[in-house]
């Protein structure tokens, strides 16, 4: 039986129950291993991810949260140094990494191994497709998951699932606000066809329609399928729209960017806005691996990304703590983290903050259960997770609230941001410049400050944003119509006025002729009415005169 502080047993399942029902969920043979309240499992894509340094940094950040918790270090999470019971003073945690291999199948296997090891709470997984496969298992076993990357709205209000990242609905609002802020009204979406990309594309399209933008064409491709990605770009090249929203993962980028370069879609006439699922560092890693050429990378300067960003002050405190680590220290926490580059610690990716906070959420919930006070005695770990509230590496962390499902991150402490990709001086590698978005007069749209807009770099090296091609065509059509109307008016003035004068003269002549005829008739009539009169002539003769 479970210890009383672990809440209820798995739904309709005892520890000794035969594995028939378990096999349907692809669980282990025992299906349920009683959890150890001191153990946290971290589900992380450590292989086949396209950017090993990025994911090792995220894994190290998750393990760092456990180290801070055990040391009662409140430099990043003040709650770590606070406790309400004596039992928590000696309560320490351990964390172990489980490789998901960036696939739903790999995530299911990682979940199975982590559950067999007695994990009481899981951090991860990253992909929404993986979380959709795992949350029913977590609910069945009362084993909660807190994701640092699964953003799909399909996961909202799901039992045993929470997340420390904004949902796609939150991010879609930022993407559309940036599009409208630049004066664009027409765009297309190129998206991966999975549990994350397809719903995300629908959310962007719905938000665009609500804000008065024209419906975008949604062009899908299959995950990690270069031929499918290239075909999607070829379809894109046949469309008149020149504003592109890209929803893809790192492994999808070679096919997309190489084909876009070949078709001339990375020029100054286009603008690309990418999701936060990849970064400039991802492209640099792909160049190093020979999957993207240096020439193509050069043309990506000016690429944009729109979304939420961690709170600047909170993330700054986390970066200071992370910068004090060394590759050896991360490897000591888990041997799978060997080979990390020292430069990774100076400027960690922002996702490390979400991974740190996801682990902190599990740690604080487990501590609450360990203390077993009156407020948590009858609550499961999953229920406690959603009651957790703390200041973390990404800002204030809490769940639910207005406009959000249970388990969804409240984004009030995060900022809306536009990233502009830039080339580092001399090295040719890409980095990004964060540009805060400011609310405009229209609540749907956001703009950049004049200073930020003046310093923008666009694809092709331009200093001004590309025009919306359809709006340009519509303006050209209006211009031609106006010119045609002006020509007709000129013809009317140049030919019509003299014609009118001639017509007026003709009418005047006719009128004058009519008057003359009328006068002649009057004279004839008057003469016809004169009385007879006689005149005398020579003697003896008379004349009758009219």
Predicted local confidence at residue 5, as pLDDT: 30
Predicted local confidence at residue 496, as pLDDT: 66
Closest CA to 54 of 307, 287, 358, 348: 348
85: pLDDT strictly greater than 60? no
Give residues with Cβ within 8 angstroms of 72, minimum separation 6: 80, 81, 83
Choose between 384 and 184: higher pLDDT: 184
Mean pLDDT of the 102-107 span: 94
Give residues with Cβ within 8 angstroms of 232, minimum separation 6: 190, 219, 220, 221, 256
70: pLDDT strictly greater than 60? yes
Choose between 102 and 425: higher pLDDT: 102
Predicted local confidence at residue 124, as pLDDT: 96
Residue 451 pLDDT class (50, 70, 90 cuts): confident
Predicted local confidence at residue 20, as pLDDT: 45
364 vs 367: CA distance, rounded Å: 5
What are the tens digits of pLDDT across the range 158-177? Answer: 989 999 999 999 999 999 99
Predicted local confidence at residue 42, as pLDDT: 98
Predicted local confidence at residue 473, as pLDDT: 65
High-pLDDT (> 90) share of the chain, %:
63
Residue 417 · residue 436 · CB < 8 Å = yes
Encoding tokens for residue 70? 């055990």
Choose between 304 and 499: higher pLDDT: 304
Residue 88: CB atoms within 10 Å: 15
Predicted local confidence at residue 452, as pLDDT: 85
Residue 399 DSSP code: B
76: pLDDT strictly greater than 80? yes
| Residue 193 burial class via C-beta count within 10 angstroms: exposed 0-12, middle 13-18, buried 19 and up | middle
99: pLDDT strictly greater than 70? yes
Predicted local confidence at residue 4, as pLDDT: 32
Predicted local confidence at residue 50, as pLDDT: 76
Mean pLDDT of the 461-480 span: 74
| Residue 39 burial class via C-beta count within 10 angstroms: exposed 0-12, middle 13-18, buried 19 and up | middle
What are the tens digits of pLDDT across the range 109-120? Answer: 999 999 999 999
Closest CA to 446 of 181, 261, 117: 181
Closest CA to 179 of 122, 82, 244: 244
Predicted local confidence at residue 374, as pLDDT: 38
Encoding tokens for residue 433? 């410049």
Of 199-208, 305-314, 488-497, the one with minimum mean pLDDT is 488-497
Q: What residues does 417 pair with on adjacent strands?
A: 307, 436
Give residues with Cβ within 8 angstroms of 127, minimum separation 6: 45, 100, 102, 104, 107, 149, 150, 194, 196, 249
What SS3 class is residue 488? helix
Cα–Cα distances (Å) from 15 to 10, 30, 32, 334, 381, in that order, read 8, 7, 6, 30, 18
Predicted local confidence at residue 251, as pLDDT: 93
Q: What is the pTM of this model?
A: 0.80
Of 74-78, 312-316, 472-476, the one with minimum mean pLDDT is 472-476
Cα–Cα distances (Å) from 305 to 113, 209, 272, in that order, read 36, 21, 8
216 vs 206: CA distance, rounded Å: 10
Predicted local confidence at residue 401, as pLDDT: 75
Predicted local confidence at residue 546, as pLDDT: 40
What are the tens digits of pLDDT across the range 368-424? Answer: 888 775 344 456 777 888 889 999 999 999 998 776 888 999 999 999 999 999 997
Q: Which helix (H) or strand (E) holds 283?
A: helix 280-288
Choose between 1 and 526: higher pLDDT: 526
Q: On the CB side of 232, how many CA atoms lie within 13 Å of its CA?
A: 31
Report the helix count and the strand count for the chain, using DSSP H and E.
Answer: 18, 18
Residue 163 · residue 146 · CB < 8 Å = yes
Quote the mean pLDDT of the chain. 85
Matching residue, tokens 């370069």: 261
């Amino acid at each position: 039986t479970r210890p009383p502080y672990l809440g209820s047993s798995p739904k309709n399942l005892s520890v000794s129950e035969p594995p028939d029902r378990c096999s349907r969920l692809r669980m282990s043979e025992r299906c349920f291993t009683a959890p150890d309240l001191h153990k946290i499992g971290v589900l992380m894509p450590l292989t086949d991810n396209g950017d090993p340094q990025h994911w090792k940094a995220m894994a190290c950040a998750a393990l760092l949260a456990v180290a801070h918790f055990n040391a009662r270090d409140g430099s990043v999470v003040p709650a770590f140094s606070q406790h309400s019971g004596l039992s928590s003073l000696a309560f320490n945690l351990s964390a172990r990494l489980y490789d998901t291999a960036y696939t739903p199948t790999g995530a299911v296997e990682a979940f199975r191994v982590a559950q067999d090891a007695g994990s009481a709470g899981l951090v991860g997984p990253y992909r929404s497709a993986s979380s959709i496969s795992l949350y029913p298992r977590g609910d069945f076993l009362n084993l909660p998951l807190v994701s640092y990357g699964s953003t799909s709205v399909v996961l909202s209000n799901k039992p045993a699932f929470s997340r420390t990242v904004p949902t796609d609905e939150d991010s879609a609002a930022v993407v559309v606000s940036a599009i409208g802020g630049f004066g664009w009204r027409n765009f297309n979406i190129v998206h991966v066809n999975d549990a994350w990309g397809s719903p995300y594309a629908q959310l962007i399209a719905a938000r665009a329609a609500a804000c008065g933008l024209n419906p975008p064409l949604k062009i899908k491709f299959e995950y990690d399928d270069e031929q499918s990605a290239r075909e999607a770009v070829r379809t894109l090249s046949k469309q008149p729209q020149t504003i592109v929203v890209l929803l893809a993962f790192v492994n999808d980028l070679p096919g997309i960017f190489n084909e876009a370069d070949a078709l001339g879609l990375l020029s100054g006439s286009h603008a690309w806005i990418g999701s936060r699922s990849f970064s400039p560092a991802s492209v640099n890693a792909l160049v190093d691996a020979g999957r993207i050429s240096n020439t193509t990378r050069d043309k990506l300067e000016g690429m944009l990304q729109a979304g939420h960003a961690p709170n600047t002050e909170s993330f700054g405190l986390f970066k200071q703590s992370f910068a004090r680590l060394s590759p050896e220290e991360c490897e000591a926490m888990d041997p799978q983290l060997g080979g990390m580059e020292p430069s990774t610690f100076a400027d960690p990716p922002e996702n490390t903050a979400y991974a740190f906070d996801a682990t902190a959420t599990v740690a604080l919930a487990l501590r609450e259960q360990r203390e077993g006070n009156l407020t948590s005695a009858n609550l499961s770990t999953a229920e406690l997770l959603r009651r957790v509230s703390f200041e973390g590496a990404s800002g204030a962390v809490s769940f639910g609230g207005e406009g959000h499902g249970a388990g969804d991150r409240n984004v009030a402490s995060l900022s809306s941001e536009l990233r502009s990709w830039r080339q580092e001086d001399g090295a040719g590698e890409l980095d990004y410049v964060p540009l805060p978005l400011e609310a405009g007069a229209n609540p749907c749209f956001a703009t950049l400050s004049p200073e930020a807009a003046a310093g923008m770099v666009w694809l092709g090296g331009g200093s001004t944003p590309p025009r919306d091609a359809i709006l340009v065509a519509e303006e050209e059509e209006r211009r031609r119509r106006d010119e045609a109307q002006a020509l007709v008016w000129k013809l009317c003035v140049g030919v019509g006025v003299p014609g009118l004068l001639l017509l007026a003269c003709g009418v005047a002549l006719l009128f004058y002729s009519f008057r003359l005829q009328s006068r002649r008739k009057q004279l004839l009539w008057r003469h016809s009415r004169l009385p007879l009169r006689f005149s005398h002539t020579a003697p003896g003769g008379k004349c009758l005169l009219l």
